[in-house]
Structure 1
Amino acid sequence: MLEKKSVVIAGGGSTYTAGIVMMLIENQDKFPLKTLKFYDNDYDRQKIVADACEIIVRERAPEIEFISTTDPEEAFSDVDFVMAHIRVGGLPMRAMDEKIPLKHGVVGQETCGPGGIAYGMRSIPGVIELVDYMEKYSPDAWMLNYSNPASIVAEATRILKPNSKIINICDMPVAIKKGIADIIGLEDGNDIIDRYYGLNHFGWWTEMLDKEGNDLMPQIKEHVAKWGYGPAGEANDNPLLEEASWMDTFLKAKDIYAVDPETLPNTYLKYYLFPDEIAAHSNPDFTRADEVMANREKNVFAECRRIATEGTAENTTIEAGEHAEFIVQLAGALAYNTYERMLLIVENNGAIANVPNDAMVEVPCLVSKRGYEPLAMGNIPYFQKGMIEQQVAVEKLVVAAYLDKSYQKLLQAITLSKTVPNATIARAILDDLVEANKDYWPTLN
C-alpha cells in the first residue's frame, strides 16, 4: 500500500486549482492523500474555489483532510509537496502585460517578450517567498512550480535558491502531445516517447516514438505541414481549440514547422518567429487575459459558486485536465520512485552539449525518489542554438535586473528580445511597464 502524502496548493484561488483537486481525487490509487491544503494571499478569491472544493473532497474522497488558509505556517507545515501556480498581480496585471507592448506594435503575451519580462519581475519575489515558507515549515518537501514565466522563475531560483528542492514545469508540451496523440490515433500523449530540447515555451522535438519504438515523426510531420497541430479539415474535437486564440496558435504551427522541417516546434515559437504578424493581428483592447476573464475564470467561478450554494458537486462541469495530470504524475514519481520520463526545466549542465551549462533548459528527465536526472540531447543545430542563446541572455538579464534593481539591464533584456524591433521601442515599452508595475517591482536605478 502506498504511503499517503500531504499537499498544499499555493495559488488556491487559481482557476486551475479545482481541476488539480479533481485529478488528485481521481488518482488516489496512484497518489493517495492524507491532507490537502489551499494557500493564497487573496482570501476572497480563494474562498470561491475552496468552498466548492471542500464539498468535492467531502463527497468523493472524505478520507482526505481539507484545509484552506491564508496563514503560511498552517499551510506549509507538515506537507510533502507544494504545488505552486501563483499569478502575482492577477489577471488585471496580465492584461497590462499584454496591452502595453501592443500599444507600441509589439507582441503582447504573458510569458513571451516584454509582457513575459514584466510578469517575471513580479513572479520572482512571489515564488521565492513560497520556497522560504516551504523550507521553514517543511524542509523535506518538494515544490512543483507551475508559476510563469517558468524560465525566468527557474533562472531566479537557480541563483537565489541553488540547493532548494524545486522543480519548474510547464504543461504546454503535454497539451501539444495530447493533440498529436489525437491526430495520429493514440489513446494518450503519454504513449509518445519523445526527445525534446529548448527553453520553456521555446523548444523543438527531434523524435517521437510509440511504446513499441515505431517512428511517429513522418506521419506527424505530414499532418503538421498541412494543418499545424490543428485537426484535419473542419473537424474540431480538441476542447482547447474551442477558444479562437488557441485555434490560431495550434494552426500557426504549420508556419513555424516550415522554418525547420527537421523538427516539430513548440507553438509559442510563433511569437519569436512571426512577432510583427502576431502583433498586427492582435486586438489591443481585448487580449488573452480578457478572454480568460470572460470565459474560463467566469465559468469556473460560476460553477464553484453553484456547488457552494447547492451544497453538492453532483454533475459538476469541473474536470481534471493536462495541467493537473502532469503535476500529479510528477509528484507520484518523486514519492514512489516510478522513474517517469518527463519534460522538466533544469540547469543544463551538458544536457544540450553546445549550450551554456548554466542555462535553464527544458529537456526530458527521469524522475524518481532521487529527484530528476536530465537525459543528454547532444549537440543542436546552429539555428536553434542561436535562438536559445539569445533568449537565455534575455532571461539572465531580467533576473540580473531584478537583483541589481537595474533599469539599464531591464532595458537590455527587452531590447534583446526577438519580439522587439529596436531599442527606442524597447525603452518606450519599459517606461510604461515601470509605471504599471510600481506596486510590484523594486524601484529601478
Structure 2
Amino acid sequence: MDDRKFSVLIAGGGSTYTPGIVLTLLDHIERFPLRKLKFFDIDGDRQQKIADACEILVKERAPEVEFVATTDPETAFTDVDFVMAQIRVGKYAMRSLDEKIPLKHGVVGQETTGPGGIAYGLRSIPGVLGLVDYMEKYSPDAWMLNYSNPAAIVAEATRRFRPNSKIINICDMPIGIMDRMAEVVGLKDRNDLVYRYYGLNHFGWWTNVWDKKGKDLMPQLKEYVAKNGYWIGGEYDKGTEASWESTFKMAKDVYALDPTTLPNTYLKYYMYPTQVVEHSDPNYTRTDEVEAHRQKLVFGECARIVENKTAEDTQFKSDDHATYIVDLCTAIAYDTKQRMLAIIPNDGAVSNIDPEAMVEVPCLFGANGPERLSMGKAATFQKGLITEQNCVEKLAVDAWETHSYTKLWEAISLSKIVPDAKVAKEILDELVVANKDYWPELK
C-alpha cells in the first residue's frame, strides 16, 4: 500500500442501495482510503434525501473525506478515480411495467429477464453510455465499475459502442450466492473460495469450487443444494423477502437439470417459466415488494438520521455487493491480481462460444483491469442455452442501434421464456407504447 487517497463517484446517488455502499466504503477506508465521495443523479430531489443522511454518516465516521452531491455532470465527474454506476432509467414506474406487461400475456415479468429485461436494456443503454462519456471527458484516467441492470445488454452495448473505455461490467448475484456457499461449508465468506464459473450475466454455472487448501467443496455443496437450493434460513436469512426466499429455494430445481454444476439462481426463469408465472401475481410484482419494503425503510431511515442530526444509531448496514466493489477498486488501485468475476468479451475464455459474446468469467484484476481466465469448453447443455441467450442480447442491441422493430421482435421471440412470435409481438406492442419517452422510435 502507499499513501494515495481516492475520489469515488456514485452515479445513481438516489438509489436505495447508496447508504449501504457508503457504509461499506467507510468500513474499509483503511485498505481503500478516500479523499472525496461524490453523488450524481439526474433526480436531484430523490438524491438529496439520501445525500443529506449520507453526509451525516461521512462527517461522523470520516470527517476528513470531502462529500459532494450534485446533478451537474462536470462537477460530478471532474477529479474522480472510480465511478460506481448504479442507475435505473425510468425508475420503479418503468420497472413495474417491465414486470406487469409480460405477465398479462402469461410470460415471466422480471427486470433483467425476457421481454422486461429487454425493455429495460433499451432504456439503460443511452444512460450508461452517457456516464462513460462524462467520465472520459472530465476524468479520462478513471475506471467505471458498472452494475446497472440489465448488465448483459449494457455490457454488449459498451463492448460495441465504447470498446476502448475503462468500464468493467459486474454483477453482485454470483457474489451473494458464493457467500451462501461459504456459509454452507463453514467458511467465512466468498473470499475463502476458489472457483471456476462461466456463462452470461444472470445465466451461468459453477463447475468447480475449492477452499484455499485445495479441498473439493462441490460434493458437499451439491448435496446441500439438491435438498435446499441456496436457502440458508435461520438468522442468516432473517429479513429476506419472500420473493428471494422462493428464488434461493428454487435453485434445487435448476440444479436437478445438470447435477454436474451449480447454477445461478436466475436460471429458474429460463428453465421453469411456467411455474414462475403460476406463482406470480400480475398485480403485485417485485417492484411493489421493493417499494413497500426496502424503499420505504431506506427513505424512512434517511429522514430519521436527518431529523436527529446523527447516524450513530443507524439501522443501515454494509452491502455484500458493495464489499465486492471495494475489492475491485482495491485490486485495480494496488495491482493485487485478485480473482473476481466480471462480464467481459469472451475472446476464448469459453472456447466453443462466440468470441464476441460478453461472458461472465473469473478474471485476475490489477492496474490494467481484468485479465480473463480460461474456463475451457461449455458443455452441450450450457452451450445451447448460452448461444440462444447471447443472440437475444445481440438482437436487442441491434434493435436499439438501428431503431428496428423487427430486430426487437426477433429478440423477444427468440427468448426462451416467450412461447411464440405472436405473444412476443403482443408484448412488444405494449412495451413500445410504455417506453415512448425512452426508446428510439422504431421502424
Fold shared, TM-score > 0.5 on shorter chain: yes
> What whole-Å deviation, never above 9, does each CA across 1:362-388 have from its counterpart, x for those lacking one?
000000002110000011111000000
User: Are 2:77 and 1:76 equivalent residues in the alignment?
Assistant: yes
Give the letter for the 1:285 counterpart: N
Give the letter for the 2:83 counterpart: V
Q: Which residue of 1 aligns with 2:422?
A: 424
Pairs aligned (count): 442
Report the alpha carbon displacement of residue 240 of structure 1 after superposing the two structures with TM: 7.1
Report the alpha carbon displacement of residue 2 of structure 1 after superposing the two structures with TM: 3.6
Q: Which residue of 1 aligns with 2:237?
A: 239
Using the alignment, how far apart are the partners of 1:242 and 1:40 within structure 2? 28
Q: Which residue of 2 aligns with 1:160?
A: 161
Using the alignment, how far apart are the partners of 1:168 and 1:69 within structure 2? 24
Q: Which residue of 2 aligns with 1:352?
A: 350
Match of 1:308 among 306, 309, 327: 306
> What whole-Å deviation, never above 9, does each CA across 1:5-62 have from its counterpart, x for those lacking one?
1011000000001111000001111110111000000001000100000000000000
8 Å CA contact retained: 1:240, 1:246: no
Runs of 4+, deviation exceeding 4 Å: none
User: Are 2:137 and 1:136 equivalent residues in the alignment?
Assistant: yes
Using the alignment, how far apart are the partners of 2:180 and 2:122 within structure 1? 32
Using the alignment, how far apart are the partners of 1:151 and 1:251 within structure 2? 24
Q: Which residue of 1 aligns with 2:286?
A: 288
Using the alignment, how far apart are the partners of 2:331 and 2:157 within structure 1? 25
Give the letter for the 2:265 counterpart: T
How does 1:194-343 map onto structure 2 within 5 Å? 194-231=195-232, 235-239=233-237, 242-343=240-341
Q: Which residue of 2 aligns with 1:375?
A: 373
Q: For residue 117 of structure 2, give the secondary structure of its aligned residue in structure 1.
A: helix
Q: For residue 268 of structure 2, give the secondary structure of its aligned residue in structure 1.
A: helix
The Cα RMSD (Å) is: 0.8
Using the alignment, how far apart are the partners of 1:406 and 1:238 within structure 2? 47
How does 1:59-138 map onto structure 2 within 5 Å? 59-138=60-139
Q: Which residue of 1 aligns with 2:9?
A: 8
Using the alignment, how far apart are the partners of 1:407 and 1:239 within structure 2? 43
Q: Which residue of 2 aligns with 1:34?
A: 35
Report the alpha carbon displacement of residue 237 of structure 1 after superposing the two structures with TM: 2.6
Report the alpha carbon displacement of residue 276 of structure 1 after superposing the two structures with TM: 1.1
Using the alignment, how far apart are the partners of 1:225 and 1:109 within structure 2? 25
8 Å CA contact retained: 1:206, 1:263: yes
Give the letter for the 2:161 counterpart: L
Q: Which residue of 1 aligns with 2:45?
A: 44
8 Å CA contact retained: 1:179, 1:238: no
Match of 1:394 among 392, 395, 398: 392
**Unmatched 5+ stretches in structure 2:** none
Report the alpha carbon displacement of residue 187 of structure 1 after superposing the two structures with TM: 1.1
Q: Which residue of 1 aligns with 2:19?
A: 18
Report the alpha carbon displacement of residue 70 of structure 1 after superposing the two structures with TM: 0.2
Report the alpha carbon displacement of residue 241 of structure 1 after superposing the two structures with TM: 6.3
Using the alignment, how far apart are the partners of 1:182 and 1:276 within structure 2? 31
Using the alignment, how far apart are the partners of 1:25 and 1:227 within structure 2? 35
Task: Tell me the percent identity.
Answer: 63
Q: TM-score scaled by structure 2?
A: 0.99
Give the letter for the 1:424 counterpart: K
Using the alignment, how far apart are the partners of 2:71 and 2:237 within structure 1? 33
Give the letter for the 1:260 counterpart: D
Between 288-297 and 237-246, report the one with greater CA deviation. Answer: 237-246
**Unmatched 5+ stretches in structure 1:** none
Report the alpha carbon displacement of residue 238 of structure 1 after superposing the two structures with TM: 2.7
8 Å CA contact retained: 1:406, 1:444: yes
Give the letter for the 2:103 counterpart: L
Q: For residue 205 of structure 1, give the secondary structure of its aligned residue in structure 2.
A: strand
Using the alignment, how far apart are the partners of 1:45 and 1:432 within structure 2? 28
Q: For residue 242 of structure 1, give the secondary structure of its aligned residue in structure 2.
A: coil
Give the letter for the 1:278 counterpart: V
> What whole-Å deviation, never above 9, does each CA across 1:161-186 have from its counterpart, x for those lacking one?
00000000000001001111111211
Q: For residue 78 of structure 1, give the secondary structure of its aligned residue in structure 2.
A: coil
